[in-house]
Amino acid sequence: MAIPKKIRGVLSPVLTPFNTDYSVAKERFVEHCRTLLDCNVGLAIFGTNSEANSLSASEKMGLMDLLVENGVPADRMMPGTGCCSISDSIELTRHAVGLGCAGTLMLPPFFYKGVSDEGLYRNYATIIDAVASEQLRIYLYHIPHVTQVGITYGLIERLLRDYPGNIAGIKDSSGDWNNTLGMLEQFQPHGFDVFAGSEPFLLQTMRHGGAGCISATANVNAHAISHLYDTWQEESADRQQAALNVVRAAFQKFPMIPAMKSAIAAHRQDPEWSTLRPPLVELTEEQSRQLQEALAAISFKPNTPRPF
């Protein structure tokens, strides 16, 4: 099998809709994925904003299969496959590679704190050796405020040296532009694709040679974020970035995952969309009302095309 071009651009950690009994709402999930694809947003299913760690490994494999069976192209999918358990990580990663996914986004194991780079290296190296496929492209996932376990430059360097074909890039959700910039300068020139962890950093990332962004807000503002990616070299780019930031800020006043689910539920008049698996909880009624007001004030409707 020929190795396809690497995925770039805008991806979304796809929200996972649940029924009120906490089972996955499969039809809503497929439909939401199609909406994102229509906006040219790739599918980073099983990210932080997907409540991925609230799903079992078998649920995740079932959902990957469901998408492919429903005609979603695997080469637009970058499932999260990094778990605490290396056996889960291997099984999920192998499954994703078997389906032909564009890549996998891999958290470090995050239960133990204060672990060594040697331990994290062994985690990734063992997975790569076990999956043993040229098709495997791993995107490291650096989100230290959640995991408390970060991806250091030293770890990237060692992995890139030993597995240049499999270590494909990173999502930097540190929120620290200097960290992203350092990676863009040190690793992007070696073909290691740096994705901003959210769209407020998209334009800067593109201007420094990066690969795009993987952002929560792409679940609701897919068109506009994707448009900035397509036109970042045009004169309108700074104005577009500013407009994206306004939408992001409106959501960030609330817990992000419940807020995005609430906005979609309201927009679709489908209250069940707002369901989250424990330990997350939905917005209160008052918070939902405030969010609706804030979105109305900026004339924002989820994933509705507007003039740019």
- Answer yes or no whether residue 53 interacts with its own copies by CB under 8 A: yes
According to DSSP, residue 80 is labeled B
Beta-strand relationship, 9-12 and 42-43: parallel
State how far the Cα of 232 lies from the Cα of 150, in Å rounded to an integer.
30
Helix-, strand-, coil-residue percentages of the chain, each rounded to 5: 50, 10, 40
Spatial contact of 228 and 244, defined as CB atoms under 8 Å apart:
yes
- Answer yes or no whether residue 87 interacts with its own copies by CB under 8 A: yes
- Answer yes or no whether residue 286 interacts with its own copies by CB under 8 A: no
Tell me the backbone φ, ψ of residue 168, rounded to 5 degrees: -100, -20
Tell which one of 20, 38, 132, 145 touches its own copies (CB under 8 A): 145
Where does this chain touch its own copies (CB under 8 A) — which range of 82-90, 131-139, 162-170, 237-245? 82-90
Where does this chain touch its own copies (CB under 8 A) — which range of 56-64, 159-167, 169-177, 223-231? 56-64
Token pair in block for residue 251: 């959501």
Q: Is 150 exposed, middle or buried (0-12, 13-18, 19+ CB in 10 A)?
A: middle
Task: Choose between 53 and 204: whose C-beta lies nearer to its own copies.
Answer: 53
Tell which one of 1, 2, 3, 113 touches its own copies (CB under 8 A): 113
Tell which one of 67, 77, 105, 149 touches its own copies (CB under 8 A): 149
- Answer yes or no whether residue 108 interacts with its own copies by CB under 8 A: yes
Tell which one of 13, 42, 45, 91 touches its own copies (CB under 8 A): 91
Tell which one of 59, 75, 157, 272 touches its own copies (CB under 8 A): 59
State how far the Cα of 228 lies from the Cα of 289, in Å rounded to an integer.
29
- From residue 10 to residue 49, the character string flagging contacts with its own copies as x (rule: CB under 8 A) and all else as - is ------------x---------------------------
Spatial contact of 29 and 12, defined as CB atoms under 8 Å apart:
no
Q: Is 245 exposed, middle or buried (0-12, 13-18, 19+ CB in 10 A)?
A: middle
Where does this chain touch its own copies (CB under 8 A) — which range of 26-34, 121-129, 213-221, 236-244? 121-129
Task: Choose between 85 and 231: whose C-beta lies nearer to its own copies.
Answer: 85
For its own copies, the binding residues in 177-216 under the rule CB under 8 A are none
- Answer yes or no whether residue 109 interacts with its own copies by CB under 8 A: yes
Task: Choose between 93 and 240: whose C-beta lies nearer to its own copies.
Answer: 93
- Answer yes or no whether residue 115 interacts with its own copies by CB under 8 A: yes
State how far the Cα of 8 lies from the Cα of 169, in Å rounded to an integer.
10
- The distance of closest approach from Cβ of residue 26 to its own copies in the complex, given in angstroms and rounded to an integer, is 14
**Dihedral angle sign, alpha carbons of residues 295, 296, 297, 300:** positive
Spatial contact of 73 and 280, defined as CB atoms under 8 Å apart:
no
- Answer yes or no whether residue 132 interacts with its own copies by CB under 8 A: no
State how far the Cα of 167 lies from the Cα of 129, in Å rounded to an integer.
12
Instruction: Report CA 182 to chain centroid distance, whole Å.
Output: 21
For its own copies, the binding residues in 255-284 under the rule CB under 8 A are 277-281
Q: Which residues bind its own copies (CB under 8 A)?
A: 22, 53-57, 59, 84-88, 91, 108-113, 115-116, 118-120, 122-123, 126, 145-149, 277-281
